Amino acid sequence: MSAIITDSLKQKLLLSAVALGVVMDGIDGSIVNVALPTMATEFGADTGSIAWVIITYLLMMAGLLLVFGKLADRGLAKKLFLAGFAIFTVGSAACGIAPALDILLAARIVQGIGAAMIAAVAPLLCIRYLPANMLGMALGVIAATASIGFAVGPAIGGILTQYLSWHWIFLVNIPIGIIGILFASRVIPPDEPKERNGSFDYPGAIALFGIMGFCTVVLQEMAARGLTDPLILAGGALFLLCTALFAARELTTPQPFLNIRIFAKWQFSAVLIALLLVNAIFMGIIYLLPFYLIAEMNFDLATSGLFLLVPPMVIAIISIPFGKWSDRYGRRGFTVAACGCFVLTSAVFALLSPASGILPLLFGLIMMGLALGIAAGPAAGRVIESAPENERGTGSSLMVTAIYFGGVLGTAIYAAFFTFVTMDPAGGVVAFADLGPETFLNGFHLTMAAGLLLSAVPLVLSAMVPDRNQDA
Q: Per-residue pLDDT averaged across 29-50, rounded?
A: 82
Q: How many domains is the chain partitioned into structurally? A: 3
Residue-range definition of the domain harbouring residue 350: 265-472
The CA angle 285-409-300, to the nearest 5 degrees, is 30
Residues 211 and 329 in one domain: no
d(CA 227, CA 223) in angstroms, rounded, equals: 8
Residues 398 and 329 in one domain: yes
Residue 385 lies in a domain: yes
Q: What radius of gyration, in Å, describes the C-alpha atoms of the chain?
A: 22
Residues 306 and 454 in one domain: yes
Residues 381 and 458 in one domain: yes
Residues 100 and 245 in one domain: no
User: What's the pLDDT tens digit per position in 78-132?
Assistant: 888 899 999 999 999 999 999 999 999 999 999 999 988 888 888 778 777 777 6
HSE-up of 253 (CA within 13 Å, CB side)?
20
* Angstrom distances, CA of residue 181 to CA of 23, 65, 70, 83, 250: 14, 20, 22, 8, 36
Residues 328 and 428 in one domain: yes
- CATH classification at residue 406: 1.20.1250.20
Residue 178 lies in a domain: yes
What is the structure's pLDDT at 237?
Answer: 93
What is the structure's pLDDT at 356?
Answer: 85
Q: Please check whether residue 280 is in contact with residue 374, taking contact to mean a CB–CB distance below 8 angstroms.
A: no
What is the structure's pLDDT at 472?
Answer: 39
Residue 39 lies in a domain: yes
Residue 471, pLDDT > 70, answer no
Residues 287 and 318 in one domain: yes
Residue 391, pLDDT > 80, answer no
DSSP assignment of 90-158: HHHHHHHT--SHHHHHHHHHHHHHHHHHHHHHHHHHHHHHS-GGGHHHHHHHHHHHHHHHHHHHHHHHH
Residue 364, pLDDT > 70, answer yes
Residues 225 and 340 in one domain: no
d(CA 167, CA 97) in angstroms, rounded, equals: 7
Last residue of a domain, one of 256, 283, 298: 256
Torsion over CA of 446, 372, 116 and 457, rounded to 10 degrees?
-50
Residues 328 and 472 in one domain: yes
Residue 197 lies in a domain: no
Residue 107 lies in a domain: yes
Residue 362 lies in a domain: yes
Residue 196 lies in a domain: no
Residues 345 and 292 in one domain: yes
User: What's the pLDDT tens digit per position in 191-223?
Assistant: 776 655 667 788 888 898 899 888 888 888 887
pTM: 0.82
The amino acid sitting at 187 is V
DSSP state of 76: I
Residue 195 lies in a domain: no
Q: Per-residue pLDDT averaged across 355-372, rounded?
A: 90
Residues 414 and 449 in one domain: yes
Residues 149 and 234 in one domain: no
